[in-house]
Structure 1
Amino acid sequence: MKSKISILFLLFAFVSFTATAQTAVAKQEPKEDKVWMPSKPIPVAEYYPGGQEAMYTFIDKQLNYPAMARRNRVQGECIISFTLNEDGSTSGFKILKNAGAGTGEEAQRIAQLLKFKAPGPGFGMVVSLPIAFKL
């Protein structure tokens, strides 16, 4: 008799907990789709058409979170270094900071997709670009 009461109590507790959890999930407000940007301006962004906001919007659209990083819930910032040449082309990509699980390689892939305006003769520069990975 005691075991039947215990089982019924546990079943009631589980059903009650599940209903409460579902209500809490349903009440959550939708998450804003705000693009992550660093707090300080990135100097190379002035050579990107549309500026820093347009550059990070492009990065956000192109970002494919690596499967291993998603599975292991890896989050963090990757920093990619590259040279912006006088004609607007880029070269010499390096991963300076890597969050791991494929995020550094993905950040480098995205940095290679960026197209900049030509800064002009004698203005080639080495830049660092932070790219955040957040779940």
Structure 2
Amino acid sequence: MKKLFCILTISLFAVTISFAQKTDKSKDVFEQVDVVPEFPGGMPAMFDFIGKNLKYPKEAVKKNIQGKVLIKLIIEEDGSISETAIAKSLGYGCDEEVTRVVKAMPKWSPGRKDNQLVRTSFVLPIMFALDRKSSK
């Protein structure tokens, strides 16, 4: 019998990219902040959350699809995720699965710039890899 594993790779720092339209000063999305947003409980908790919630899409497994999905996020001043966009697609249901899991995340600690809570954008990389080791 074969096991399938989804391997997650999340950078230890937030790579920021602005992708929202800036309409006025209160809606600015900051690429560089003094304090980056943080998932509740930090990186270990985020790894755990993604590991428990991300499902490897059946179509991707059937076609042996592996690789990285990059998803852009905007974390609002209240810590909620308001916008997502796929920056690097893998297809075969992987993009949709990453989007689903990210939108299910709890509120984060928001970013800060000049001691003010701000909208912050960054990219979260998530790796899909098949591990086809035999199990007994």
Shorter-chain TM-score range:
0.5 to 0.7
Structure 1 regions of 5+ residues with no counterpart? 1-24, 26-30
Equivalent residue pairs, number:
104
Q: 1:77 aligns with which of 43, 52, 68?
A: 68
One-letter amino acid matched to 2:45:
A
* Aligned CA distance change for structure 1 residues 46 and 89 (closer, same or farther; 3 Å): closer
Give 1:92 shift.
1.6
Aligned to 2:118: 123
The offset of 1:91, in angstroms, is: 1.3
Are positions 1:36 and 2:4 aligned together? no
* TM-score, with length taken from structure 2: 0.66
More helix by share: 1
Unaligned runs of 5+ in 2: 16-35, 131-136
Alignment check: 8 A CA contact 2:7 2:129 kept: no
**How far is the alpha carbon of 1:105 from its aligned partner?**
0.8
Q: Note the C-alpha offset of 1:34.
A: 9.6
Q: Does the 8 A contact of 2:14 with 2:124 survive in 1?
A: no
| TM score, norm. by length of structure 1 | 0.66
Is 1:102 paired with 2:93?
yes
Asked whether the 8 Å contact 1:81–1:93 carries over to 2, the reply is: yes
Work out the percentage of aligned pairs sharing the same amino acid. Answer: 34
Question: Aligned-pair distance for 1:54?
Answer: 1.2
**Residue by residue, what CA displacement relative to the aligned partner does 1:16-37 show, whole Å, maximum 9, x if unpaired?**
xxxxxxxxx9xxxxx9x89633
Larger relative contact order, structure 1 or 2 (CA cutoff 8 Å, min sep 6): 2
**One-letter amino acid of the counterpart of residue 129, structure 2:** K
SS of equivalent to 2:99: helix
